[in-house]
Structure 1
Amino acid sequence: MGRDASGPRVVVGVDGSPDSHAALRWAVRYAGLVGGGVDAVASWELPGAYGWSAPAVDSDFDEETARQALAQELTDVLGAEGAASVRALVVRGNAVDVLLRAAEGAEVLVVGSRGRGGFARALLGSISQHVAQHASCPVVIVRPEVL
Structure 2
Amino acid sequence: MDGEAAVARIVVGVDGSPASYAALRWAVRYAGLVGGAVEAIAAWELPGLQNWSGPAVDMDFDADEARQRMRQELTGVLGPDSAGQVAAHLVHGNAADVLLRAAQGAEALVVGSRGRGGFARALLGSVSQHVSQYAPCPVVIVRSEPS
TM-score by length of structure 1 reads 0.91
Aligned residue identity for 2:9: R
Provide structure 2 residue ranges, at least 5 long, that are not aligned to the other structure: none
Greater C-alpha Rg: 2
| 1:44/1:63 contact within 8 Å kept | no
- Return the alpha-carbon distance in structure 2 between the equivalents of residues 108 and 73 of structure 1: 22
> Which residues of 2 match residues 53-132 of structure 1 at below 5 A?
53-54=53-54, 56-132=56-132
Query: What is the distance in 1 between the residues matched to 2:133 and 2:14?
Result: 19
Q: Which amino acid aligns with 1:69?
A: R
TM-score by length of 2: 0.91
Deviation, structure 1 residue 146: 1.1
The SS at the match of 1:91 is: strand
- Percent sequence identity over aligned pairs: 71
C-alpha contact (below 8 Å) 2:113/2:123 kept by paired residues = yes
Contact 1:10–1:108 (8 Å) recurs in 2: yes
Distance 1:86 1:114, change over 3 A: same
Q: How many angstroms does 1:64 deviate by?
A: 1.5
Aligned length: 143
Q: Greater shift after overlay, 63-72 or 26-35? A: 63-72
Q: Distance in 1 between matches of 2:137 and 2:34?
A: 16
What is the root-mean-square deviation of aligned Cα atoms in Å? 1.5
Determine if contact 1:10/1:31 at 8 Å carries over to the other structure. Answer: yes
Q: Tell me what 2:34 maps to.
A: 34
Secondary structure of 1:61's aligned partner? coil
Distance 2:58 2:49 in 1: 14
Q: CA deviation at 1:57?
A: 4.3
Deviation at 1:56, TM superposition (A): 4.9
Deviations 1:50-71 (A, max 9, x none): 1122455444323222211210
